[in-house]
Structure 1
Amino acid sequence: MSPPLAPPGWSRWLVPPAALSVHLAIGQAYAWSVFKPPLEAALHLDGTQSALPFQLAIVMLGLSAAFGGTLVERKGPRWAMTVALVCFSSGFLISALGAWTEQYWLIVLGYGFVGGIGLGIGYISPVSTLIKWFPDRPGMATGIAIMGFGGGALIASPWSAQMLESFGADPTGIALAFLVHGLSYAVFMALGVFLVRVPRPADRAAAAGGPSAAEGVRVSARSAVRTPQFWCLWIVLCTNVTAGIGILEKAAPMITDFFADSSGPVSASAAAGFVALLSAANMAGRIGWSSTSDLIGRKNIYRVYLGVGALMYLTIALFGDSAKPLFVVCALVILSFYGGGFATIPAYLKDLFGTYQVGAIHGRLLTAWSTAGVLGPLIVNWIADRQEEAGRHGSSLYGLSFAIMIGLLVVGFVANEFVRPVHPRHHLPAPPKEAADVQRQQSA
């Protein structure tokens, strides 16, 4: 499937909705918890077992993005979105069969392995194309799409809950819910497949302000991973994501623990509302902070994410149990930085390595997400369990883990300061044909 070139006069503003249709669909991953209680009751699973499909999906996201990034770059966005559609939707259909036959391993295989491949390919599928269409505003463009991944759960969570209520929470009802998800997301993602277009050289030159701006730096994915800049950004992303997941993964019990000894303890419904607020902050940060990075620069915005994030963690650690509004505001800021970090990193990569293989480079960098996805919950949960065994309670369960998060953010801040322009020895020469195409199409 060859990349579809945009016809003359094609509006670049049709491309973000194409990307958004894919990211809103695969963002359902953040709503997996809706299926956990009915699966546990219907198939007699414990909490660890019911988490397996989600955990495997996140692992496969990182692996498929890393190993498939170069192929996505070579085959183009329509091919990548098609693969994402087939894998993500098929994952739900296989899961439906697993629920229907009460074979849990099929749900793990479908949602976790097959669907996880769709997650990874779908996540990186529009990045390179968006940056090529919007060289003047790459942070905003990628923020629009990646905002969908953060906001997908806001749609999927109530929708899934309503289906389980209508169909029933038994194996048959769960299977029907999976089936509807698979078919509906296939149709929704198909909109992106049909809408996406690759810019012609003249389109890129016009958006960037001229042919010279359109060419820019060209660094291959293979060369990029050999540069210190790539590994500095790997540390930056890993530490920022670890800090965000540290709160996101344990949000409800954390706020309950912090104010368990106060005169106004947090109810279960209030804790659930806190989780919803965090999701909204995550989504808003993806478009808000990434757009801000177009104005103040990528290094500066990561100084904010990491530096101010460390101060927010310090404020919670010292004063968080004294006032609920202070705790909530600090947590919302941290989660907005978590989302903003995801949305800004493709533009940062574009600034350093150019648009040549930015999708493939982004895919390799997402292994930092897989690492943080294990590291963040491990730090917070393991330390909280050990503190509880030692007889501590309330906010004291989290003091040590918050100190570790502050240290990690400081490490990320320092790594960001070491980021410099890529040495010219890693640059590839601009192909003569591209320059000739730009001049010919501009004179046409």
Structure 2
Amino acid sequence: MRANAPTVLVVDDNPSVRDSVMRTLAHDYRVLACANGVEAVEMLRCHEVHVVVADLKMPMMDGMKLLSAARAFRPAVQFVIISAYGTVAKAVEAMKLGACDFLVKPFRREVLCAAVAKAMDWWHREVAKREGRGAGEDACGIVGRSPALGEVLRVVRRVAPTSATVLVEGESGTGKELIADALHRWSHRANAPLVKVSCAALPETLLEAELFGHERGAFTGALYQKKGRFELAHGGTLFLDEVAQLSPAMQVKLLRVLQSGQFERVGGTVTLQVDVRVVAATNTDLDVLLAAGRFREDLYYRLNVVRIKLPPLRERPEDIPLLVDHFIALYRARNDRAIEGISGAALKLLQAYAWPGNVRELEHAIERAVVLAEGPILQVEDLPPSIAGGAQPAPEVRVPLGTTMREIEHEVIERTLARTGGDKTAAAALLGIGRRTLYRRLGPRVPE
């Protein structure tokens, strides 16, 4: 069991059953136990409990009465009822009272773990409802109800309580950082630091010092000792964005930390040990880089323990109305604007648009519309021209036979920059490459 783990209370008058359930759950949860419902009520008053696993038949107060009593002062707590006398009628009665699940003894360990994980999910939803979050808005600001997003969140909730390394893949603007936030917030490390670093934002020499820290005098300008991001994230989570941009040398150094948790500061000789959960993100297909020999196979498998693929916004258009409402509320308050909603015609245009910049592009479009709108309802004319003018077919690039690959690449980049009005970040997103890669490939053409 790790620090800050969710708390499960096991209530059963049979010591062997109670101990077995405790052992099964102890790795992932903080487990409390008692022998009857009366003791359980007292423990619930003294401890913040998320899930109760309670036997149906117990002396003094059975599992059903305990459920009713607990809800009076712990309204979000979730119950898994267990019984050796399981009947359909009893299961239905438990569900009507609000139990999350009903298990018949004996049950397999994986069945118990799945039931408790489900109950934790119900607890999060109940807390979200009581905190008054908007429709479709998750605890970490993730908005949407589409099946594609729902499947992503299901995996996030399952993996969050573990220490498994997670690789988040998705186009630019799909919300990879929000997924990292959720993985941290729903983990046992939630009260420890969540540290973020972009692997594409710094050159290799500075990135090494940023990740691992440096000693005084390690290089020109190193006037004092500095802790790196791994040290700062000790006990918590480190989010490595754009991990595909790591140089081969940095890939080796990262692999060592993932394998052993050990590293030295730049210019240092003391080996440091850290306990850090790594979440990596990329908008580039690592399988392609792996096949091309540009990404280490051993590091790939270290990062790819659990892989989460975020769907682009164009594949979940049913989420656009929820996202629009969310962003209207956000920027209405931020800009003190009396915006009440959006017209049907404008919403249809938003749902028909391809969104190459995904949710980030939609957010900027709504922010612009809220600021510029003259009336209380956002209209088509309030949307950016690229959207209000309708979805335009992507321009083609025609090249004659014999053109070198370098020339083709340069022409595609230049045409993409023209389409984005010179916005290099947006151009890189459309091309599926990092901004540093874009700058590098924009160098002068050299005849081959």
Q: Does TM-score exceed 0.5, indicating one fold?
A: no
Larger Rg: 2
Higher helix share: 1
Shorter-chain TM-score tier: under 0.3
Higher strand share: 2
